[in-house]
Amino acid sequence: MQYFEAVARHGSFTEAAKELLVSQAAVSHQVKILEQELGTPVIERTTRHLKLTQKGEALFAAVSEALNILADMTTRIRSSLEAEASQVNLTVTPFFSAHWLIKRLPSFSKEKGSRVQFNLHHSFDAPARQVPGGADSYQAYVTYGSGTWDGFQADYLFSADLVPMCSPALLSGRTRLSAPEDILKYPLVHEFNYEFWGRWFELAGVSRSAVNLGPIIDDPNVLIGAALGLQGFVLGPPLFYREHIKSGMLITPLGEDIRIPIDYYFLVPTAGSVSKETLQLKNWVMDEVSKFHAEEPESLPDRRRTG
């Protein structure tokens, strides 16, 4: 059909052969095979020119329409694939997003313009092993942990360690804290469960059993609100609250030497291919982290490693 359509469109075997990059004889042969299959001529051949038969005219109209439909659908599919390829999906913890990522995103959008559709998802859950070709095959993550996740390459970003902090008004008129166990005289507000405070007291040489019960909050952004609202001590990362500390809204009365390590990583799946846009996002994040390290050299523990 392709040979016949080219001949009918050009009105010439020679021009059709040039377009199809074959010999004139090959084009003529293919048209003859078509006529044999149809059982009727579709082209009238003369010494000077050729013209379509009545059935050839009808066939040419149908074939042209079909090829136009195919070309249009091919264009649509390619456009759809290009649109999908220019999307990048990133899942991060809400805390990282609110206190580090979101204020930097405009520079990524400015750098990439409208060429990349950026989709941001929030989750506390650890990333699951990816299945090549699955819906999340090109998903990237920023989360905290040990640096090792099955099925992922993990690149270290920075550490945002947890230390006790509170509003200075909570301690107003009371004896200055001089030892870790002094915190037990105050209410403790917990994140997710009692584990973080238990770990901190162990690091401080105080038994876990001494940990006070108290409200449990499942959102660290709300947790810090509890501290500002004088509800008690919380464990938070000074790295993300430097402005609160500088302004005197929050204090770390026992300093920052005893801290729970919290290391953030950028994760991409090792199975399957990672999209160009995802790699661009990763490189942008790593560049922003380098700037962050330069801005906060004394605030960032040096625990850089790759999992």
SS3 letters across 12-26: CHHHHHHHHCCCHHH
Please tell me whether residues 17 and 71 are part of one structural domain. Answer: yes
* Judgement on whether residues 167 and 240 belong to the same structural domain of the protein: yes
Per-residue model confidence (pLDDT) at position 233: 97
Q: Is residue 254 part of a domain?
A: no
Residue 244's pLDDT is what?
94
Total-model pTM: 0.69
Domain that holds residue 274: 86-160+262-295
Contact 261, 156 (CB under 8 A): no
Q: What is the pLDDT of residue 287?
A: 94
* Contact status, residue 144 vs residue 114, Cβ threshold 8 Å: no
Task: Please tell me whether residues 235 and 190 are part of one structural domain.
Answer: yes
Domain shared by 124 and 272, yes or no? yes
pLDDT for the residue numbered 288:
94
pLDDT at 297: 62
- Considering the domain architecture, whether residues 122 and 147 belong to the same structural domain is answered as yes
Whether residue 18 is contained in a domain is answered as yes
What is the number of domains present in the chain?
Answer: 3
242 lies in the same domain as 102: no
Do 151 and 124 share a domain, yes or no?
A: yes
Q: What is the mean pLDDT, run by run of 10 residues, along the chain of 307 residues?
A: 85 86 88 87 81 87 85 77 70 92 88 72 75 55 92 93 96 90 94 93 92 88 92 95 93 95 94 82 94 74 49
Residues 67/5, Cβ–Cβ less than 8 Å: yes
Would you state the pLDDT for residue 133?
47
d(CA 101, CA 89) in angstroms, rounded, equals 14
Residues 130 and 270 in one domain: yes
